Homo-oligomer: A and B are copies of this chain.
Amino acid sequence: MITEELLKGMMKSQNPGWKTAITKVEHNHLSTRGYSQEDLIENYSFPEMVYLLLQGKIPSEKQKKMFEAVLVSFCDHGVTPPSTQSARLMASAGSSVNACIAGGILAFGKNHAGAIEISMKMLQRGIQLQKNYGKSTDEIKDEVLTYFENGNMKVPGFGHRYHKKDPRAAKLIEVAKKLDCFNEHCELAMNIENSLYNEKGIKMNIDGANSAILSDMGFDWKMGCGIFIIGRVPGLLAHVNEEMALEKPFRKVFDMNGL
């Protein structure tokens, strides 16, 4: 006989997939991580909302300010990044705004925005090692540098294609100190910078600073590129809008040897 229980069991197996702990959708009601969305709209800032979505709780006042500074710092780097160039090329070709922004995000590969995750992973593993084996920050720093040197790789989060001294990195570290968000990961990053600067004249870049700060705020390295995207999408939108409003459609951005 078909009981109600059996029925529910069957129904459940029919719709196994879509469940979530992020936002509960009910008729005429929405709540995210336990907060009603009406409350969130009225009483919380955007960085608090983002932090709540990603970490499951509201940040402290200082954490909020720090997270805000991180997002602001990611906002734009003019027309130099491949992501911005791609988004503008798409806008020029007549694609829709959402296609252009999606396209820009697709250029956030491992050599571009992806670098921040590799940098976060490096710092988080370093601190993990430090804790597990009681090593000093200096020892960890040496191991990190040796690892990348042996692999003939750049240290992720250090050096910049356009700046000897990335102006955003120093400011972010300064803000982190002021807001008590400068902890072990920041210390390790500063330690690495000291060595790299003394030996090769290489300074920390924005990815390095934000990697350290986000790690000290408890973000898993797998969130790095996503947080960069949250910060950079407004810049992409501004560029797409500028291209559409001011430039000739389907223009030749580059001269092709006279073609």
Interface residues of A (CB under 8 A from B): 2-4, 7, 10-11, 13-30, 32, 36-38, 40-42, 44-47, 49-50, 53-54, 68-69, 71-73, 75-80, 82-83, 85-86, 88-103, 105-114, 161-168, 171-172, 174-175, 222-223, 225-227, 229-231, 233-235, 237-242, 244, 249-257, 259
Contact across chains for B242 and A98 when beta carbons are under 8 A apart: no
Q: What B residues does A11 contact at CB under 8 A?
A: 10-11, 14
Give the Cβ gap from A91 to chain B, nearest Cβ, in Å. 8
Complex contact A22–B103 (CB within 8 A): no
A69 contacts which of B42, B79, B95, B114 (Cβ < 8 Å)? B42
Complex-state Cα separation, A165 to B27, whole angstroms: 8
Which residues of B are found within 8 Å of A46, using beta-carbon distances? 46-47, 68, 71-72, 231
Question: Quick check: B237 and A223 within 8 Å, CB to CB?
Answer: yes
> Is A18's CB under 8 angstroms from B112's CB?
no
